[in-house]
Structure 1
């Protein structure tokens, strides 16, 4: 993927959502299958030395947000999360790494048609935080794009 697009996306997140800068969020990769955001454990740990649940929740929400922002390609659209669920299955003891799979092509086409027709559409996205080969956090969010 284009390195400039990754840096532009990271800059956008840091400018528009200041928490991302404090968390140390970076856009690791984006390709035809997924988007990966990372954040170091240092500023995101809890009293046990593992990743703080709020940081895990924020990073998964950000991954869904950024995926939709990139896929939609409309820089004037407003994207918000309408509803989400999260399951914390295992502690994260190192770098937080959120992986958002690209939405299904048919689902995205329906979303895009609705957005173009009405200026409002929603899409459900899934994000995982993987550490040492384990799915540690499972997130599902319903994101809304508004014109």
Structure 2
């Protein structure tokens, strides 16, 4: 893992062919370099199924003093997964843009007691269609995403985030 410098943007990955997918392992390797914290969150795998992006995570890096999931680490994971969902969606549609989280909130429902999966989907059924329309019309947009953390069959955390796609940078 290379050392990052404050104030210096990390190089972007080349875009996949329009409509093509990023290879999960390649994207995660880039993510761990671009956002050093990501490499320490216990992410073991990533897959996309339709509009759902799922991470498999190990609990060990996110343990609290009680031996369960630390809320701050879990909140960071939900925020980052939403950012990844938006970034990967943009890349699949041929956009090389910056994404920022505008708002986020979490509801902790049950303790996380073992390895878990975190699933991110759009909050509304037509959200990705509306994002595509805004990107085409205005060159920027927003999307509300929901993240759910499952430990086995138990829903432990629900989070919501509003992610903004920034306009293209002018040279």
Asked if Structure 1 and Structure 2 have the same fold, meaning a TM-score greater than 0.5 normalized by the shorter chain, the answer is yes
TM-score, normalization by structure 1:
0.88
Task: Give me the whole-angstrom Cα distance separating, in 2, the residues matched to 1:94 and 1:123.
Answer: 30
Equivalent residue number for residue 24 of structure 2:
6
Equivalent residue number for residue 96 of structure 2:
76
TM-score, normalization by structure 2:
0.77
The change in CA–CA distance for 1:78 and 1:26 in structure 2 (over 3 A counts) is: farther
What does 1:102-117 align with in structure 2 at a 5 Å threshold?
106-117=126-137
- Higher normalized contact order (CA 8 Å, seq sep 6+, divided by chain length): 1
**By percentage of residues, which structure has more helix?**
1
Equivalent residue number for residue 130 of structure 1:
150
Which residues of structure 1 form unaligned runs of 5+?
none
**Bigger radius of gyration among the two:** 2
Alignment size in residue pairs: 146
Stretches (4+) displaced over 4 A: 102-105
Per-residue CA deviations over 1:54-99 (Å, capped at 9, x if unaligned) read: 1110111121111111112146210111001100010001113211
